[in-house]
Amino acid sequence: MKNKKVIFQDWGLLDYQQAWDRQEQVFLEAVQTKTQNRNKNTDYPVKNHLIFVEHPHVYTLGKSGKPENLLLDEAGLKEKSASYYKINRGGDITYHGPGQLVGYPILDLDNFFTDIHLYLRTLEEAVIFTLADYGIKGGRYEGYTGVWLDADNERARKICAMGVRCSRWVTMHGLAFNVNTDLTYFNNIVPCGIDDKDVTSMERELGYKVDTDEVKQKLKIHMAELFEMEIV
């Protein structure tokens, strides 16, 4: 029987390493439950989670990323009060920091659909719908993940990056949505390995700081509708 209940948690502002450790623990519990179910021919429901968090300034490099896309040395990182981690998601380098909404869905896709491309497109769709609530037209850039503005012309700029890991159809990592993000921190990397496109935020597009809690609520609602999940 499919379990579409999703446990929601907001971790607030949390150090990246601490959040990664917590996320790994939840992820491993889900994978272990699935493994035990298969080995013992049981059907114990795997718990789904949706976690929202903000991080202090940090750069993360995915498995397929190039270290040279970080343009700072250790002294530069210290000057920017930023940390740096090589992590186990897909994708290249990105930045997380205050004012950016990071979403970590830890879902057993056997409860929804076993299609990683559809999973990414559905996450993108939830962000696109959220942007539309504020009169911002988001879309996709062919050949790239994430959510973009003006993707069909030379003004293309990225507002939400994505990078996920999936094992036994359980997901972790997720999306980084620029709400009131300090965009100057992106100047210290080649974002997602793309050196000829701009990065933007809701604040930059709208000309004012956005209520992050309101954005969280809207994104959560759109994710619940699109994944047909019950958030508890």
Angle at 31 between CA 114 and CA 118, to 5 degrees: 20
Taking all residues of the chain, what is their mean pLDDT, rounded to a whole number?
A: 94
Domain count, the chain: 1
Which is more confidently placed, 196 or 104?
A: 104
With a pLDDT cut of 70, the percent of the chain lying above it is 100
Mean pLDDT of 51-58: 98
| pLDDT band, residue 231 (cuts 50/70/90) | very high
Position 90 scores a pLDDT of: 84
Which is more confidently placed, 90 or 70?
A: 70
3-class DSSP assignment, residue 181: coil
pTM of the complete model: 0.95
| pLDDT band, residue 191 (cuts 50/70/90) | confident
Paired tokens of 55: 């991080």
State the CATH number of the domain containing residue 203: 3.30.930.10
| pLDDT band, residue 42 (cuts 50/70/90) | confident
Q: Would the pLDDT of 196 be above 80?
A: no
Query: Which amino acids are annotated catalytic?
Result: 192
Residue 140 in contact with residue 161, Cβ under 8 Å?
A: no
Q: pLDDT (tens digit, 9 = 90+) per residue, 80-91?
A: 999 999 998 988
Q: What residues form DSSP beta bridges with 172?
A: 165
Q: pLDDT (tens digit, 9 = 90+) per residue, 139-189?
A: 999 888 999 999 888 899 999 999 999 999 999 999 999 999 999 999 999
| pLDDT band, residue 134 (cuts 50/70/90) | very high
Residue range(s) defining the domain that contains residue 30? 5-231
Task: Give the torsion through C-alpha atoms of 23, 24, 27, 30, to 10 deg.
Answer: -120
| pLDDT band, residue 96 (cuts 50/70/90) | very high
Amino acid at residue number 167: S
Position 1 scores a pLDDT of: 64
At 204, which helix (H) or strand (E)? helix 202-206
Position 143 scores a pLDDT of: 87
